[in-house]
A and B are shown apart, each in its own frame.
Chain A
Amino acid sequence: MLSELERTAIRAAVERLGDRRAAAAETLAMLQRERGWVSDEALAEAAMVLGMPREELETVATAFELVFRRRVGRHVIMACDSVSCWIKGADSIVALIKERLGIGFGETSADGEFTLLPAGCLGLCEQAPAMTLDGLPYGRLDAKTLDEIFARIGEDKHGDSAH
């Protein structure tokens, strides 16, 4: 079920843009933000609010790399697999991440903590090889910087459980 907040957000977008269908991408982005991913049910209900067949909203959703149609882990890593990162050794970085998390592209770790996805160019080419972690950019990756990044996530998690 869509929450009242979500319905209000969709209606507000429709009103602002003056067209129901035009709010499709924004609606998907909002659902993604609220829920972390877009389920079949959420998509079907949103399509109704937007007044478009659910299949059509589905075609919009699946065209976008950043709209997740499957449940993802608590943290999402998008590793750039585009040319400027690849030419600077992104393969080895991805191998390191896979080794550390024990998962491949498109998979979520068994504890539900991490999902690893490939990304088309993130536009962080000056920082190649690069990735985003929960939407934040990280560049100039090597074994050491990866260690630091994962260590920080570990600390945050520790912090969370203390509350």
Chain B
Amino acid sequence: MAYKNYILVCGGTGCESSKSDELFKALHQQAEAQGVKNDVQIVKTGCFGFCEKGPIVKVLPQESFYVEVKPEDAKEIVAEQVVKGREVKRLLYRKGEKADSNVKIEDIEFYQKQFRVVLRNCGVINPENIDEYIAREGYTGLERALFKMKPDDIVNELKVSGLRGRGGAGFPTWLKWDLTKKAPGDVKYVVCNADEGDPGAYMNRSTIEGDPHSLIEAMIICGYTIGARQGYIYIRAEYPLAIERLKIAIRQAKEYGLLGTNILGSGFDFDLEIRLGAGAFVCGEETALLRSLEGNRGMPVPKPPFPAISGLWKKPTVINNVETYVNISVIMSKGAQWYAKIGTEKSRGTKTFALTGKIQNSGLVEVPMGTTLREIIFDIGGGIRGGKKFKGVQTGGPSGGIITAESLDQPISYESLTALGSMMGSGGMIIMDEDDCVVDIAKFYMAFCVDESCGKCAPCRIGTNQMHAILDKISKGQGTEDDLAKLEKIGKAMTKASLCMLGGSAANPTLSTLRHFREEYLEHIRDHKCRAGKCKDLVVYEIDAAKCIGCGLCARKCPVPCIAGEKKQPHVIDQARCIKCGECYKACKFGAVIKK
């Protein structure tokens, strides 16, 4: 039976935390109450990516794109659109200030420069229904692999596609598979690294939440290619919704004969298990992850031997990131030739990024490699929040570096980001504005690395601590110019001598900010000044009694609270208790709060 309307409700973690689940139930209730239950199908999809404006609802066939929809809006959506066939204009996404009634998804700036390969099904299908995945060419890649290709053909297909690992380092995927395939041994494993611990990154979470079968399909193909019969998805316990959707997807795949023995009658057996990580950043490092899977404390071990030769339980193992696998499902169904046309010569395909920080449209985006940072941050991301000035963007998380305004027109690729002193990383982009202090940021990242260092090797264990101590000193105005040379020296030693990439790249945020913003470091040292006002020991907030009208807004905004004063009388900040958060400064409409 054909439905008159289809209502797609975003069911990603972000939108669920802003009540999309309640909205979903309310829509069902309204359809029932208004007697149109049989006219409309209401589906919970994965992430639309436009998280800034969530919860998102899309209604077909009109393609109405509704933003910031509340459970209370369900009644009107059903009454207007399903019953009367009219759009609910007030909920439509507006381009600029004008109430533009017919803004379709492709007319929204946020989507215009995007090209969705990895996220092709997110926000389109119901991730809990395997039939919807199959209807969109799902599992055709697996069918092609099992019945039309030999393992060597698949390796070659990946080679032609030019796909490189999306976990960050960009190792050619075909080579990894080929090495594992050729490695001697009867027992081999396929592992998926879904332990996305990189701060500021949630692409893998959203991908699994929105399209779990795409990951499963590629892992089966990998098993067939390298001769493995068992796969493990190592996913962090912080992602309950993604885990739930994966469980459902694995169960459905088993019911359809896509997992288990004699897959689709091919004679090939393959099974998948979900294994949970419980909050350890270093487990995202592949050797540490494999140790954790074996039941040991997740600590890296030296390479070589590489997992392709000696991985899980010392057996040859392919370990790839979620996004790498999802790309493979597409390559196998659409063909390597099609895929190789996307992107740049050395970095083929697309890349997903999570835009966070001081950006107008925070959210999940996917662009062809070769897109410039300016296009991502300003065209898609809508630029900086509140009209502030762009200062830099951190890519590659705590392993990457800051990229500044003069490099915004660089087309992104593995090579270009490395040349800029950062790295591709898994895809987190943290955007900073003029109110962010580079010393403070470097110190923050270093504190993270101190916390997450597993402690096994001295360069990382001692180096991160020493660098943090120096950065802390500088942020308090107690640094010396000599300290900057020390930071560089320790940083270089860590980069060279650490056991794994966590230590090997921990100095990058510091070294790159030193390179681009040395002047700001010197201001902290020579002038005891933090121009952004973020280094708490170097900033004092005071209230100008002459300008203060005693409205009390600052006192209400103060989280401590440490601002006191009678109504209509000048207020005073208790300096001993002030945490220098700057909320009062932001709140005051009369310019009475002064930052010194």
For window 360-379 of B, CB contacts with A under 8 Å fall at 362-364
Instruction: Decide: A128 and B559 in contact? CB cutoff 8 A.
Output: no
Within 8 A of B (CB), among A32-68: 50, 52, 56, 59-60, 62-67
Q: Given contacts A60-B297, A83-B448, A123-B202, are A65 and B280 in contact (CB under 8 A)?
A: yes
Kindly state the separation between the CA atoms of A119 and B451 in the bound complex, as whole angstroms. Answer: 11
Q: What count of chain B residues pass the 8 Å CB interface test?
A: 68
Contact of B278 with A67 in the complex, beta carbons under 8 Å:
yes
* Cα–Cα, bound, A128→B436 (Å): 16
Nearest B-chain residue to A24, judged by Cβ: B295
Residue positions of B touching A, CB distance < 8 A: 13-14, 16-18, 51-52, 54, 196-202, 205, 236-240, 273, 275-283, 292-299, 313, 354, 356-358, 362-364, 394, 397-398, 428, 430, 432, 436, 441, 444-445, 448, 451-452, 454, 557, 559-561, 579, 581, 583
Q: Does A29 contact B (CB under 8 A)?
A: yes
Known A121-B197, A125-B362; contact A65-B202, beta-carbon cutoff 8 A: no
Residues of chain B within 8 A (CB-CB) of A95 are 559-560, 579, 581
Q: Is the CB of B560 within 8 A of A91?
A: no
Whether B202 and A83, one on each chain, are in contact in the complex, defined by CB atoms closer than 8 angstroms, is no
Whether a CB of chain B sits under 8 angstroms from the CB of A69 is no
Contact residues in A for B199 (Cβ distance below 8 Å): 82-84, 120-121, 125
Partner among B283, B295, B428 whose Cβ is within 8 Å of the Cβ of A52: B295
Q: Which residues of A contact B276 (CB under 8 A)?
A: 25-26, 29
Can you list 16 A-B pairs with a CB-CB distance of less than 8 A? A22-B295, A29-B278, A63-B282, A63-B298, A82-B199, A82-B448, A83-B200, A83-B445, A86-B444, A88-B358, A92-B559, A99-B561, A121-B200, A126-B52, A126-B364, A127-B18
With beta carbons under 8 angstroms apart, the residue of A21, A86, A130, A137 that contacts B295 is: A21
Assess whether B13 is in contact with A124, with CB atoms less than 8 Å apart: yes
Digit string of A63-96 for contact with B (CB within 8 Å is 1, else 0)?
1111100000000000000111011110111011
Instruction: Tell whether A19 is near chain B: CB-to-CB under 8 Å.
Output: yes
Contact between chains at B275 and A26 (CB < 8 Å) = yes
CA distance A135 to B436 in the complex (A): 31
Instruction: Kindly state the separation between the CA atoms of A136 and B444 in the bound complex, as whole angstroms.
Output: 26
Given A95-B579, A137-B13, A137-B17, A59:B52 Cβ within 8 A: no
Whether A28 contacts B278 in the complex (CB less than 8 A), given A87-B436, A120-B451, comes out as: yes
**Contact B356 A99, beta carbon cutoff 8 Å:** no
Total A-B contacts with CB atoms under 8 angstroms apart: 169
Provide the residues of chain B in CB contact with A84, threshold 8 Å.
199-200, 356-357, 428, 430
* Chain B residues, CB < 8 A from A143: 557, 559
- Cα separation A139 to B17 with both chains bound (whole Å): 7
Known: A83-B448, A91-B581. A19 touches B354 (CB 8 A): no
- A89 to B271 CA separation, bound complex (whole angstroms): 44
CA distance A142 to B364 in the complex (A): 23
Residues 1-39 of chain A: 1 if any B CB is under 8 Å from the residue's CB, otherwise 0? Answer: 000000000000000110111111110110000000000
B356 partner, pick from A20, A22, A128, beta carbons under 8 A: A128
B279 A120 Cβ-Cβ under 8 A: yes
- Cβ distance A135 to chain B, nearest Cβ, rounded Å: 7
- Report how far A57 CA is from B54 CA in the complex, Å: 42
When distances are taken between beta carbons in the complex, the residues of chain B under 8 Å from A127 are 14, 17-18, 51
Known: A83-B441, A99-B559, A124-B14. 7 other contacts (CB 8 A): A16-B273, A22-B295, A63-B280, A63-B298, A95-B581, A125-B199, A139-B14
A97–B305 CA distance with the chains assembled, in angstroms: 47
In the bound complex, do residue A66 and residue B356 qualify as a contact, i.e. CB atoms below 8 Å apart?
A: no
Give min CB distance, B256 to chain A, whole Å: 22
In the complex, are the beta carbons of B238 and A66 less than 8 A apart? yes
A92–B557 alpha-carbon span in the complex (Å): 10
Contact B430 A120 (CB under 8 A): no
**Are A19's CB and B295's CB within 8 A?**
yes
Distance in Å from the Cβ of B444 to the closest Cβ of chain A? 6
Q: Would you call B451 and A125 a contact (CB within 8 A)?
A: no
A103 within 8 A of B: no
Residues of B within 8 A of A23 (CB): 295
User: Chain A residues with Cβ under 8 A from B282's Cβ?
Assistant: 63
Residues of A within 8 A of B275 (CB): 25-26
Task: Determine the chain B residues whose CB is within 8 A of the CB of A138 once the complex forms.
Answer: 17
The interface bits of chain A over 91-133 (1 if a CB of B lies within 8 angstroms of the residue's CB, else 0) are 1110110010000000000000000000111111111101010
Instruction: Check A125–B202 contact: CB distance below 8 A.
Output: yes
Known contacts A87-B432, A121-B200, A21 near B296 by CB under 8 Å: yes
| B448 CB contacts on chain A under 8 angstroms | 82-83, 120
